[in-house]
Structure 1
């Protein structure tokens, strides 16, 4: 396990095993020794890296997904995203694949602009954010959804979507974080 093992806050991992496995993630149990010598266990969600795409059409609209989210019991409007697969050549390839599978759009270019650990108190996930430009509907790609996905791709005016994010009307954490990071890094530069 990576980390700063020289830090006096570091835990020592004594053993590690998967307690539960399902499509998309595992629940892992680590047997650990705390800095004060106490031995205990710690459970967390163990999942592969993910890509999150902020896709723009040539006209500046944003391509979004409306998706049923069982955990909150409603349709969620957010950014296309998905796990990195073993056969993905690199993260950019995964971003292109997820965009195509979830929206039917192809990107002229993709550029990684940030990475975060969105819930590192209980999950080891890392989300890699990509900016996709020149996104147009593919003539050959139909949606290729996972068995447990119910998704409807839509396009929206980016400024309206951004305003909805900042007004608190978009609740999807990946979308809120992606738009916020994009605005911080690109907003002023792209406005010129």
Structure 2
């Protein structure tokens, strides 16, 4: 069932990904072309307050030309950066909050048909605002808001959230904390 790489060509590179075009030998001995993104990885975090509410963010996503509702997330600065270091930084950059405790709960490949990107998902507990937070990136315009369980369920049921990592995190949150 495996495919054997016959050639490997980088066709584009930028600060957060490399694009490759490879020729592969299929199990039936025919050749095919595979175009895919190589990504350093990412991490995302669902911040949870002491009273089990969650902090979500809104931001404009150019590829779909919409403002989306998501959990804080970001790419790793390098493939060697830990998921915990990444979410700690991203939570503070995107919301001005930190947490007393973090728990990793799953790894996901969100688009494995064309990318190797692996996202590590975390919960952040006992969140609190930081006095002098890390400044957000110059090209990011993010708003945050806090939701209770009922609001989370409504956002999911009405398809207001379409981001896969956020849906996974919120479904796990509801499974654990539904009252």
Range moving further from structure 2, 9-18 or 111-120: 9-18
Give the alignment partner of residue 49 of structure 1, picking from 41, 48, 51: 41
CA drift of 1:88 comes to 6.5
- 8 Å contact 2:46–2:122 — kept in the other structure? yes
CA distance in 2, matches of 1:87, 1:120: 18
Q: Matches of residues 79-90 of structure 1 in structure 2 within 5 Å?
A: 79-86=71-78, 90=82
- 8 Å contact 2:38–2:116 — kept in the other structure? yes
CA drift of 1:157 comes to 2.4
CA distance in 2, matches of 1:176, 1:47: 22
1:20 aligned to 2:6? no
Which blocks of at least 5 consecutive residues in structure 1 are unaligned?
1-8
- 8 Å contact 2:40–2:78 — kept in the other structure? no
CA drift of 1:107 comes to 0.7
Question: Which residue does the alignment assign to 1:168?
Answer: 159
Give CA deviations for 1:12-42 in whole Å, capped at 9, x if unaligned: 0123222112332222212211111122320
Range moving further from structure 2, 81-90 or 99-108: 81-90
Count of residue pairs brought into register by the alignment:
179
- 8 Å contact 1:29–1:43 — kept in the other structure? yes
- 8 Å contact 1:81–1:98 — kept in the other structure? yes
How well do the aligned residues superpose, as a CA RMSD in angstroms? Answer: 2.0
Q: Matches of residues 1-192 of structure 1 in structure 2 within 5 Å?
A: 9-86=1-78, 90-145=82-137, 147-184=138-175, 186-187=176-177, 191=179
CA drift of 1:89 comes to 5.1
The alignment's TM-score, normalised by the length of structure 1, stands at 0.84
Q: 1:37 to 1:89 in 2, by over 3 A?
A: closer
SS at match of 1:106: strand
The alignment's TM-score, normalised by the length of structure 2, stands at 0.89
- 8 Å contact 1:103–1:143 — kept in the other structure? no
- 8 Å contact 1:58–1:136 — kept in the other structure? no
SS at match of 2:45: strand
SS at match of 2:170: helix
Higher strand proportion: 2
CA distance in 2, matches of 1:71, 1:116: 21
